[in-house]
Amino acid sequence: MEFGMNKQNLGSFGEDAAAAFLSKKGFKLLQRNFSCRLGEIDIIAQEGECLAFVEVKLRKNADHGEAREFVTHSKQKRIILAAKYWISRHPTELQPRFDVVEVYIPDGPYGKIYIRLLRDAFS
């Protein structure tokens, strides 16, 4: 595996980086790695009056497309279904939205990390 890490470890690395980034931006992290039979959500966080369901995408670079482009329509549908289920279990007045955090590591996990938040990336 590239960078000496397996896919699961790289995914965890990307999610950890995204969670730290969101925390620094003022998000209150509510849950990570929520999973149900309908789908999964990497990060659930509150930003002001919004409840953000965040999909994290890690890539080495954008040579083959930006990371957000890999959140396919079918993946979006699964995230939306999982979010509806989560809200049914955690009633809230917060406005739900769907964000994507792109994490780029061109020199591997020990080099510089580039992170971009895309609020309301899909609905």
Q: What is the CATH number of domain 28-62+91-123?
A: 3.40.1350.10
What is the pLDDT, as a whole number, of residue 16?
96
pLDDT band, residue 95 (cuts 50/70/90): very high
Instruction: Round to whole Å and give the CA distance between 22 and 26.
Output: 6
What is the pLDDT, as a whole number, of residue 2?
57
Instruction: Round to whole Å and give the CA distance between 86 and 9.
Output: 25
Under 8 Å between Cβ of 110 and 65 = no
3-state SS class at 57: strand
Extents of the domains making up the chain: 28-62+91-123
What is the pLDDT, as a whole number, of residue 47?
98
Share of the chain above pLDDT 70, in %: 96
What is the pLDDT, as a whole number, of residue 108?
85
122: Cα separation from own chain's centroid: 13
What is the pLDDT, as a whole number, of residue 110?
86
Which residues make Cβ contacts (< 8 Å) with residue 24, sequence separation at least 6?
Answer: none
3-state secondary structure 75-120: HHHHHHHHHHHHHHHCCCCCEEEEEEEEEECCCCCCCCCEEEEEEE
What is the pLDDT, as a whole number, of residue 61?
83
pLDDT band, residue 1 (cuts 50/70/90): very low
Share of the chain above pLDDT 90, in %: 78
Query: Between residues 18 and 64, which one has the greater pLDDT?
Result: 18
- By C-alpha distance, which of 51, 106, 59, 105 is closest to 82? 51
Tens digits of residue pLDDT in 24-83: 999 999 999 999 999 999 999 999 999 999 999 999 888 888 888 889 999 999 999 999
- The reported pTM is 0.91
